[in-house]
Structure 1
């Protein structure tokens, strides 16, 4: 199951929308999801739901939680469990099945990225998770504001970080229009105004850059009785004298060593996905851009995200990974690398017949997995040594698909 809070509060299980009930009920789920794996006291839920709680508030919360628990149980969402009792409630789940926590992880990875090209790509993914204001359709305005204020600020900061990285990459012309819209929405946010001034100046539009500064200065004085900060005043002075320090550096080409590989993971075990994601993303040019726990969810997500490679388990709760592989390779032309527990001849032949580019067993080491992912992304076929030997034997008997040219990572 996937929970989405960055926009309307929704849930999807295997690509199927899960009806979560009325707004108050969805607000309770959203609150628990924001605090995933931590107990939220009933008093806290009541405080967020009502400015002036009715006498029946505790009972109303318990009824909503009971209905949510029934929805999650009926939907077969084994990955998400609502537990608790008299003192409070806890949503037990993999945090990364909730878009808020995936957003935070991507932002953190962007902060530690080794180059600006990778940083921009990670922030693109993080910001792309937003489908509107957080918790857009649930809760009272006051409760929603209290829960989402930090998220809104985090999104704006991520946008500013992405703009800074793009400016360092020499992409000032690309960001001007975006910054004009951002400053219109946040007219006294000095970091955005400074970025707009710099982008305009580097695009040969110094007079417009200075006009942006004057608008901010007048607005701050009229509305808040303040002057622009030191950094912005210094930027204005440097623009006026045409300081060489403001000139753009050479345009940097993204990923000079190797292209970034975007991966989707399809496996119904959250802990396995978490470990595999860490192995793939740590110190590599690989990023996991989507995850799915079943066939339906995989088809829906991968069609939207269009990754470079899909790592596919064959045994999924709502269908066969073989059929998912067939659909992805024929309809969406996405390379699939099977990664499963099964080493049976029938499974191997079926997966390759469905169009899989490779086949690994889950006991494969990290180096083998990374090598296989890169091979499949570059258009090769790749198999674990044991699987390659099995294919050779099948080919020798004439009852299976012959092994392709590349047999080991």
Structure 2
């Protein structure tokens, strides 16, 4: 089995940890064994959140899966001491342990997760700058660091988050390859992926766009029809607005002709988050907690074809154009509640169970122009006011749905 090597750069890090595959540790470029399941679990849990404090309670949950020893804090310190003995602090590598948290402070090239995210960020920047071929190369390098199953235990929320992160990056790379003209390769790969991920709308969108660009509109429409049936059977919803617009353009002999959508049913989803200050050890941790929750909410909103419109303190507002009855907004709210559930919280929703969350959904007719205002969509008037009023009366954990008619 090949050893994962750190990327070639200005200098090789003294310690390198790979977590995007079964745990691998290099010291001075040579493999080092970390004995003991609990010690490896501690290192993995910290390397999955490099340069960020991880609460002691969260580490205990990860290492002992709900059955901690009687003196878990002391045992955790002993595990950390054992790690230091094999991976001593040095330039670009430091293990910090306190009663409240532990942190792995590392150089940018010391953990493969950091390297992959940096490559992905450069690739996305290249795509935004109109250099899709370069973007695809960078994203392909990032994806190459995922080798087999991640080091996280499948029961950990980080495992599901890494799977989602890889899929999102894979979609970005396919889109860059499509923009670079590699249509046959994109179509072949995406055809297999939509079978494995039948509910993933963006994969279907990229496949439809590639088929359209390759002069195969009939096949693109067939992909849409298949997705529409799957979504209706699974969630009782239709494909999102971007997919619908693409389908309409494929069905219209005058492709690309702008249509006047007129009034449409739209939804506002508003979350109220409370408890960050009480849970956090200080302002920095409070901000990190809030940012994590907002990021997690944003991911579920976008997956349901919505967009964040406003974040103000503990209030988060999302908009869903063309959403009859608020079904997409309800799906996003339910997904957030499940992801933040005590049975298996998403890593974005740290301190789940101690941070309270409730949501309100208001749906009704609204002009498209109010919802799709470029990079900063806005919605004003009765729907937003009604949603705020409904949310004020909601109880923690509750999702309230009303209409404006």
Report the TM-score when normalising by structure 2: 0.54
Question: Does 2:100 align with 1:84?
Answer: no
Aligned to 1:65: 80
Mark the CA change 1:180 to 1:88 in structure 2 (over 3 Å): closer, same or farther: same
The secondary structure found in structure 1 opposite 2:80 is helix
Match of 2:111 among 95, 98, 101: 98
Report the TM-score when normalising by structure 1: 0.54
Aligned to 1:53: 68
Aligned to 1:125: 141
| Cα deviation digits, residues 373-397 of structure 1 (max 9, x gap) | xxxxxxxxxxxxxxxxxxxxxxxxx
- Report 1:98-247 matches (<5 A): 98-113=111-126, 114=129, 115-135=131-151, 138-139=152-153, 141-143=154-156, 146-241=157-252, 243-245=254-256
CA contact (8 A) 1:163 1:195 kept: yes
The secondary structure found in structure 1 opposite 2:123 is helix
In structure 2, how many angstroms separate the alpha carbons of the residues matched to 1:199 and 1:119?
17
In structure 2, how many angstroms separate the alpha carbons of the residues matched to 1:245 and 1:132?
42
In structure 1, how many angstroms separate the alpha carbons of the residues matched to 2:216 and 2:99?
63
Cα distance, 1:32 vs structure 2: 1.5
Aligned to 1:12: 26
In structure 2, how many angstroms separate the alpha carbons of the residues matched to 1:38 and 1:167?
36
In structure 1, how many angstroms separate the alpha carbons of the residues matched to 2:107 and 2:92?
7
The secondary structure found in structure 1 opposite 2:70 is coil
In structure 2, how many angstroms separate the alpha carbons of the residues matched to 1:176 and 1:63?
52
Gaps of 5+ in 2: 1-14, 258-405
- Report 1:248-267 matches (<5 A): none
Aligned to 1:382: none
In structure 2, how many angstroms separate the alpha carbons of the residues matched to 1:199 and 1:23?
46
CA contact (8 A) 1:81 1:93 kept: yes
In structure 1, how many angstroms separate the alpha carbons of the residues matched to 2:76 and 2:192?
41
Mark the CA change 1:192 to 1:38 in structure 2 (over 3 Å): closer, same or farther: closer
Question: Does 2:38 align with 1:24?
Answer: yes
In structure 2, how many angstroms separate the alpha carbons of the residues matched to 1:80 and 1:229?
45
Runs of 4+ in structure 1 off by over 6 angstroms are none
**Larger Rg computed on CA atoms:** 1
CA contact (8 A) 2:16 2:110 kept: yes
In structure 1, how many angstroms separate the alpha carbons of the residues matched to 2:116 and 2:254?
37
Cα distance, 1:102 vs structure 2: 1.1
In structure 2, how many angstroms separate the alpha carbons of the residues matched to 1:190 and 1:228?
7
- Out of 147-156 and 161-170, give the one that drifted further: 147-156
Aligned to 1:281: none
Higher helix share: 1
In structure 2, how many angstroms separate the alpha carbons of the residues matched to 1:215 and 1:91?
46
In structure 2, how many angstroms separate the alpha carbons of the residues matched to 1:69 and 1:194?
48
Corresponding residue pairs, total: 239
CA contact (8 A) 1:11 1:17 kept: yes
Gaps of 5+ in 1: 247-409
